[in-house]
Copies of this chain bind each other. A is one copy, B any other.
Amino acid sequence: MPLHPTHPTLADGYSPPALIRAYRGERPATTPVWFMRQAGRSLPEYRALRVGTDMLDSCLNPELASEITLQPVRRHGVDAGIFFSDIVIPVRLAGVDVRIVAGRGPVLENPVRSAADVRGLPPLDPAALSPIREAVAATVAQLGPTPLIGFAGAPYTLASYLVEGGPSKEQLKTRALMHSDPETWAALLIWCADITGAFLTAQIEAGASAGQLFDSWAGSLSLADYTAHVAPFSARALEPVRELGVPLVHFGVGTGELLGAMRDIEVDALGVDWRLPLDEAVRRVGPDVTLQGNIDPALLQAPWPVLEAHILDVLARGRAARAHVVNLGHGVPPDTDPGVLTRIVEFVHSRD
């Protein structure tokens, strides 16, 4: 399938960046590296920029969202930008009353728990996505050859926020609905898949070179529940995006037991959290997928020699995969010293 017109193509004599080649299964001369949540709270320039602006408002301000996306690329020399946004942005753009409460996360005024609640969820007007398209286009224009990765939350994680009304440890109400009323569950997950798929599609169409689906809460599920009640909707979210021909990445926290089912959704790369060594991940998912990860975020606080030994171990185990994109095993913790991230990029780039 052809790339979107904004993407350079091989026919232009263009060689794709290392990140894209790695996602496609090649091993570029230098191992690509970027960090989940590299855009945001760990950077003083981000905190300065955000003063006085609400989180979701900053995501919907194209100039701000673009600048925040670019900050870590400038500072760290990472191999990709990750579009600065929030998992609930498409929910907000559809017109649902959701806001981010500092220190807590996304909170909904009216949780979605019944068949009537689900029927009442408004459709997402494609026009509402224009601030997203605008921010992505501005970012891509400034990134030059560095690729931008599009960002979206997976349907299960979105549904969890909608049902619980806020963040929760084990998504009890969400998982109760899944089993108590499978029809309402399916209708809810279809709504989530369609808005988050449209959100990611808009980013790719505006120039992002890859897309990552984040399933933050999938780790609370048994393999059986994930396979039956979640994976089909993650696949649905990715369907329209796949047609655009860019590589797709799928990541969840605590999903070591689900990796095989996540691979079956047919993505180009799987993110692995810090719990599972990459060589063991390869044994679980087979050779036909690139792995992304999985430096333990806890070790960002350790003395450099300890962290360096860990990175070397991650790189060594990553050789078992067809290709490896270095990342953390979860997002950058807010109190991370940004200098450590820059040093990791330099170190990984110097190894090959």
Contact = CB atoms under 8 A, between A and B. Distances in A.
A221 interface: yes
Contact of A276 (B174, B222, B296, B333): B222
Interface in A279-309: 296-303, 306
Nearest to A258: B275
Contact of A172 (B172, B224, B301): B301
A330 interface: yes
Contacts of A170: 297-298, 330
A298 B256 contact: no
Contact of A298 (B175, B223, B254): B175
A165 interface: no
Contact of A173 (B296, B301, B306): B301
Nearest to A167: B169
Contacts of A176: 298-302
Q: How large is the interface on A (under 10, 10 to 19, 20 to 34, 35 or more residues)?
A: 20 to 34
How many copies of this chain are found per oligomer? 2
Nearest to A169: B169
A220 B273 CA distance: 10
24 contacts: A170-B330, A171-B298, A172-B298, A172-B301, A174-B298, A175-B298, A175-B299, A176-B299, A176-B300, A176-B301, A176-B302, A179-B298, A179-B299, A179-B302, A179-B306, A179-B310, A180-B301, A180-B302, A221-B275, A222-B276, A223-B275, A224-B277, A254-B254, A257-B275
Interface in A156-194: 170-176, 179-180
Nearest to A257: B256
Given A179-B302, A180-B303, A222-B275, 11 more contacts: A170-B297, A170-B298, A171-B298, A172-B298, A175-B296, A175-B299, A176-B298, A180-B301, A180-B302, A221-B275, A256-B257
A77 interface: no
Most buried by B among A170, A276, A297: A170
Contacts of A175: 296, 298-299
Contacts of A297: 170, 172
A16 interface: no
Nearest to A309: B179
The residue in A179, A277, A301 that gathers the most chain B C-beta atoms within 10 A of its C-beta is: A179
Which of A176, A274, A276 is packed against the most chain B CB atoms within 10 Å? A176
A176 B335 CA distance: 13
A219 interface: yes
List the 6 closest A-B pairs by CB distance, nearest first: A175-B298, A176-B301, A180-B302, A172-B298, A176-B298, A222-B275
A217 to B, nearest CB: 12
Contacts of A276: 222, 257
A78 B223 CA distance: 30
Contacts of A257: 256-257, 275-276
Contacts of A299: 175-176, 179
Interface in A209-223: 219-223
A303 B181 CA distance: 9
Interface centre among A175, A219, A277 (most CB of B within 10 A): A175
Contacts of A180: 301-303, 306
A274 B222 contact: yes
A163 B224 CA distance: 36
